[in-house]
Structure 1
Amino acid sequence: MAFAGQCACGQVKVAVKADAPVATRQCWCRQCQQLAAGGPTHNAIFDAGDVTVTGDTASSGWTAASGNTLTYYFCPSCGTQVYGQSSARMHLKTVRIGVLGATPALRPQMAIWTAEAPEWAMIDPALERHAGQPPAPVIAKD
């Protein structure tokens, strides 16, 4: 496996067979700030077929400004965020980088929803920025 990790208590495990994520993002939308206790979520996006999650997960979600349903999955025992999916992009799984570990391959490439970031947010000026939702990532096929 190219990437592997688990929740804080070890009951939910994630294995990713891709050599690299499709994209990595730091999300500053209000919902992600609430999930992340005030900061952004840090996410690695993979083809859903490359991601295997074992163990029981719970889920919750909301309707985004786009009208799409965003569902996030977490460990019901320890609460660790594991991954999320958009109803508009079920072919992708957005795995929380904290579950996989902070390897160089998972460094965020862009900051999204920066218009919703608090004025005190420290956003790396080297990151590509989008005030709202960026275009969907494209999966390269060999």
Structure 2
Amino acid sequence: MTAPYHGRCNCGAVTATFASEPLWVRQCWCRQCQRAAAGSATVNALFPIEGMTLAGEVAWKAYDAASGNTVEQGFCPSCGTPIFGRNSSRKDSLVVRLGFLDAGHGLKPSSVIWLDEAPAWAVIDPALEQFARQSPPPLSPGAS
């Protein structure tokens, strides 16, 4: 599938459409993501905010991440579905949890980050580009 991508929380109170392709799709094994994902990695896509439509209320909780950035987790206040992440270093984009997107989206990770914090039992696809900590920042849309 290609853009647009659509998503909804478990109860349907929050819906979103993303008009463009994501800048990246990856797994994150940082400790904060392991907590958010009940012990596993999160699987996320970075979408530009421009061209996104959002309906419904999103609740946010902020914390200071090991990367040195302020990170906020966005979730549905009605059902608790994890939806977004936002990062103080990327104000023009949102990290979208792949589980929020409608089935059949076809997106899959091309890299995995924060492997230094992954548990010993984690299974990492050797075909994915791997980073011990944070990967280099993606190019902004339209940048070369």
TM-score band w.r.t. shorter chain: over 0.9
TM score, norm. by length of structure 2: 0.91
**2:85 aligns to what?**
84
**1:79-132: CA deviations, max 9, x gaps?**
101111111111111111111145464101100001100000011111000010
What pairs up with 1:1-142 in 2 under 5 angstroms? 2-18=4-20, 20-101=21-102, 103=104, 105-141=106-142
Superposition deviation, residue 54 in structure 1 = 1.2
Report the AA paired with residue 23 of structure 1: W
Q: How many angstroms apart in 2 are the aligned matches of 1:125 and 1:104?
A: 23
Q: How many angstroms apart in 2 are the aligned matches of 1:66 and 1:122?
A: 23
TM score, norm. by length of structure 1: 0.93
Tell me if structure 1 keeps the 8 A contact 2:32–2:65: no
Superposition deviation, residue 141 in structure 1 = 1.8
Tell me if structure 1 keeps the 8 A contact 2:62–2:71: yes
Q: How many angstroms apart in 2 are the aligned matches of 1:136 and 1:86?
A: 11
Q: Higher helix fraction: Structure 1 or Structure 2?
A: 1
| Closer/same/farther in 2, CA of residues 102 and 135 from structure 1, 3 Å limit | farther
Q: Give the share of equivalent positions with the same residue, in percent.
A: 46
Q: How many angstroms apart in 1 are the aligned matches of 2:101 and 2:50?
A: 17
Q: How many angstroms apart in 2 are the aligned matches of 1:102 and 1:42?
A: 14
For these two proteins, the number of residue pairs brought into alignment is: 141
| Closer/same/farther in 2, CA of residues 102 and 42 from structure 1, 3 Å limit | farther
Superposition deviation, residue 51 in structure 1 = 2.1
Superposition deviation, residue 64 in structure 1 = 1.3
Q: What is the Cα-based RMSD across aligned positions, in Å? A: 1.5
Superposition deviation, residue 15 in structure 1 = 0.5
Q: How many angstroms apart in 2 are the aligned matches of 1:11 and 1:57?
A: 9
